[in-house]
C-alpha cells in the first residue's frame, strides 16, 4: 500500500469525501497517528451509520438511538472495517476532525498534526486479525510519507483525551500491533 497525493493507493480502498475537514496549519509536520474505535450503533458492525456520520447525513429516523450525535461535524482520515476493507474520507495532507479537545506531549489541537484511523469495533470486543494487518500496512505507508511518525507517536484516542475518550479500548492489542510493525 502506498500514498499518492494524500490518498491511499490500493484497490482495497474505497474513497469518499467527508465535508468535515480543512487545511492543516502551514508548515505543520504530521507526526502522530491516533487510533480510534467506532461502531454505530454501539456493537453493530458492517452497517452504514459510520459512513453517514462522517459524511454528514446521519438519519435519526433510521437510527433513533443516534440522535445525540446527529449533527456532529466529525471525520477520520480512514476507517478499517472488521473484514479489513478500508474507507478513506479525508486525504492525509488535510486536517480531519477526529481528535476533538486533545493534547500530546504538551501540544494541544492534535487534529493539526495527526492522522486519525478508525477501527470498526468497541472497547471491549476484540478487533479482527484483518484489521491489524491492514492497520500495520497503512502505518507503514504513512511512515514512508511522513518520517516524523515515530514508534512513540502511535497512540489511542484515550491517550490524547484521557478521561473523555476510552477508545480503542482494552480489547485493542498494542503488543500485536507493535509486532506487526517490526
**N- to C-terminal Cα separation, the chain:** 17
- Say whether 118 is catalytic: yes
11 lies in which domain range? 2-181
Domain count, the chain: 1
What digits encode the pLDDT tens for the residues 117-170? 999 999 999 999 999 999 999 999 999 999 999 999 999 999 999 999 999 999
Q: What is the greatest pairwise CA distance in the chain?
A: 46
Q: With 90 as the cut, is the pLDDT of residue 180 above it?
A: yes
What digits encode the pLDDT tens for the residues 38-70? 999 999 998 899 999 999 999 989 889 999 999
Q: Are 7 and 88 in contact (CB under 8 A)?
A: yes
Tell me the percentage of the chain whose pLDDT exceeds 90: 94
**Catalytic residue (one of 101, 118, 137, 170):** 118
pTM for the model stands at: 0.96
Residue 80: how many CA atoms within 13 Å on its side-chain side? Answer: 24
- Best CA proximity match to 132, nearest among 167, 87, 175, 180: 180
- Which domain CATH number covers 163? 3.40.80.10
Amino acid at each position: 500500500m502506498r500514498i499518492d497525493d494524500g490518498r491511499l493507493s490500493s484497490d482495497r480502498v474505497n474513497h469518499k469525501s467527508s465535508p468535515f475537514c480543512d487545511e492543516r496549519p502551514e508548515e505543520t509536520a504530521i507526526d502522530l497517528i491516533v487510533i480510534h474505535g467506532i461502531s454505530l450503533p454501539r456493537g453493530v458492525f458492517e452497517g452504514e451509520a459510520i459512513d453517514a456520520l462522517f459524511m454528514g447525513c446521519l438519519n435519526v429516523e433510521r437510527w433513533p438511538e443516534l440522535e445525540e450525535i446527529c449533527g456532529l461535524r466529525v471525520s477520520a482520515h480512514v476507517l478499517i472495517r472488521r473484514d479489513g476493507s478500508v474507507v478513506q474520507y479525508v486525504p492525509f495532507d488535510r486536517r480531519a476532525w477526529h481528535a476533538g479537545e486533545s493534547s500530546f506531549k504538551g501540544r494541544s489541537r492534535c487534529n493539526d498534526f495527526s492522522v486519525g484511523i478508525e477501527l470498526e469495533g468497541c472497547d471491549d470486543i476484540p478487533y479482527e486479525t484483518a484489521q491489524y494487518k491492514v492497520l500495520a500496512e497503512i502505518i507503514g505507508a504513512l511512515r514512508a510519507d511522513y518520517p516524523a511518525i515515530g514508534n512513540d507517536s502511535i497512540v489511542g484516542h484515550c491517550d490524547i483525551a484521557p478521561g473523555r475518550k476510552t477508545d480503542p479500548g482494552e480489547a485493542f492489542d498494542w503488543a500485536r500491533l507493535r509486532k506487526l510493525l517490526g
